[in-house]
Structures are given as structure tokens and as C-alpha cells.
Structure 1
Amino acid sequence: RPFNANSAQTQFKKGDAPANRLPLWSERHNEDGYIEIKVPQRNPHTGHSTRFMHKHRYLWELENGPLPTGMCLKALDGDKTNTDPSNWKMIPRALLPRLNGRFGRDYENAAPEMKPLILATAQLEHASREAKKR
């Protein structure tokens, strides 16, 4: 029995779902510009049976398997909403500052014909740095 007799009118009834619940495979845009999709995978943080995941990563992993630790995906054309797996390249997370960090090469805003050159240069610098560590 509720504390106030009238409060029962506004409480969820058994079987009711909140108005903001989205069905599986629903898409949304996050504040960083990526498309997220609701997938039937266990959420590692909450244990819930579904979770939202970046759509480009979900589609890429369907084709290529899970991303190894320390790796991430980079949009080759710079368009975060282009979720085609062929548009995404797996790169080491440590390469990201060389592309867009404070001293990076502004990969996101570069001309399309310059992007492959910028990425190749950053990868070469990263490989050189890693080789010096050994």
C-alpha cells in the first residue's frame, strides 16, 4: 500500500515499460558524432542483456572479429557516420595523438587526398618509436 493513496496512480504498473525504452537495433547519435546501435550483447558494466555500441565497431567486428587490447578504429574518410567496415582501419590507440592531438596533423579536417599520406606518416613515426623502445 502506497504512502499516499493518490501516488499509486503515477507509479509503473507491472508489465509497463518506460516511454524512453528503445527496441533492439535502434540507433542514436552520441555527442561525439558516432552512431550507436542497441545490440543483444551483455553490458559488461551493468550486466544487462543489451547494450549500446558504436555501430561502426559492431559491423567491423562482425567481419573481422574482436578488436585486440590497445587497438581502436579510425575512419579513413574522417566521416564518423559512415559505418561501412571498409571505411574503418584498425590502428594502435597510441597513434591517435599523432593524428589529432595537440601536436597532431589535424587528420579529421585534412583534404581527402592528404588523409592516406597523413595516416602513413603517423604509422611510420609510431613504428619507429616502438622500435626504439625495444
Structure 2
Amino acid sequence: MSGTRANSTSFKPGYRSRSWVPIGTERVTSMGYLQRKVTDTGRAADDWAAVHVLNWEAENGPIPAGYLLVFRDGDRTNVVLDNLELISRGELLKRNSVHRYPPELRQVIWLKGALVRKINANHQ
């Protein structure tokens, strides 16, 4: 097939995909985040931005390295500033791991893990 011009003539100048939408359009991702189209480069990763990040940066400037935004009420589509909280990755770890539980419960969780590992080791 060498010498054919199939790709150079596949799309006419000015062609837009059926899925094209104008700048400013909003969508909800499969993970539940609200995104807004901010550019029209044709590369989805560059064209869409999270609305909660846009709102935060408009009011407070860029998010510092090592920090991220969390939703106070857990609703990823509730992007008002009162619902956003800037926290460090370390704080996020504390909130979402065994460290958030009281010491007694942490010990029980660790002991259960050790017991499960022993049982699994005996069955192999």
C-alpha cells in the first residue's frame, strides 16, 4: 500500500469529531469529578480541567507541591470553595489509613493481618 494518500485525505480541513464540544462545557468523569473544557487542542488531557481546582486557583493561587484538595462533604460535584480543603499528602495518609483509628483498634487490625498471613502460609 505504499504510495497511497489515505491518511492525508481522510479528514477534510475544518473537520470536527462528533464528540466535539465548545470551550466552557462541563462534564462529570467516571470517578465523579466535575471537569470544564478550557482549551481546544484536541488532546483531552490538556483540554479538560477539574472545576474544583479552577475555583481554588482563581481564589487562592496555584496549589503548592505536596498538597491537594479534598471535598469536606465527600461530594466531588460540590465544587464551592467552602467545601474544599487544602491538605498535605501526609494528612491525607492519616485520614485514609489505619492511623485514623484509636490505638486499640489499630492493634486488632495488625493482629488480624498477622493471623491471616499465618493461615495463608500454612495452606501453601
Question: What TM-score does the superposition give when structure 2 sets the normalisation length?
Answer: 0.64
- Residues 23 and 40, structure 2, Cα contact 8 Å, conserved in 1: no
1:13-34 residue CA offsets vs partner (Å, 9 max, x unmatched): 1111111122111111112211
- Residues 37 and 47, structure 2, Cα contact 8 Å, conserved in 1: yes
| Structure 1 residues not aligned, in runs of 5+ | 107-134
Identical aligned pairs, as a percentage? 33
Q: Residue 60 of structure 1: SS of its match in structure 2? A: helix
Compared with structure 1, are the counterparts of its residues 21 and 70 closer, same or farther at alpha carbon in structure 2 (3 Å cutoff)?
same
Distance 2:99 2:76 in 1: 19
Distance apart, 1:56 and its partner CA: 0.6
- Paired residues for 1:97-116 under 5 Å: 97-101=93-97, 103=98, 105=100
User: What residue is the counterpart of 1:89 in the other structure?
Assistant: 85
* Paired amino acid for 2:20: R
| Structure 2 residues not aligned, in runs of 5+ | 102-124
Matched residue count: 96
Ranges of 4+ aligned residues in structure 1 off by more than 3 Å: none
Question: What TM-score does the superposition give when structure 1 sets the normalisation length?
Answer: 0.60
Distance 1:94 1:41 in 2: 36
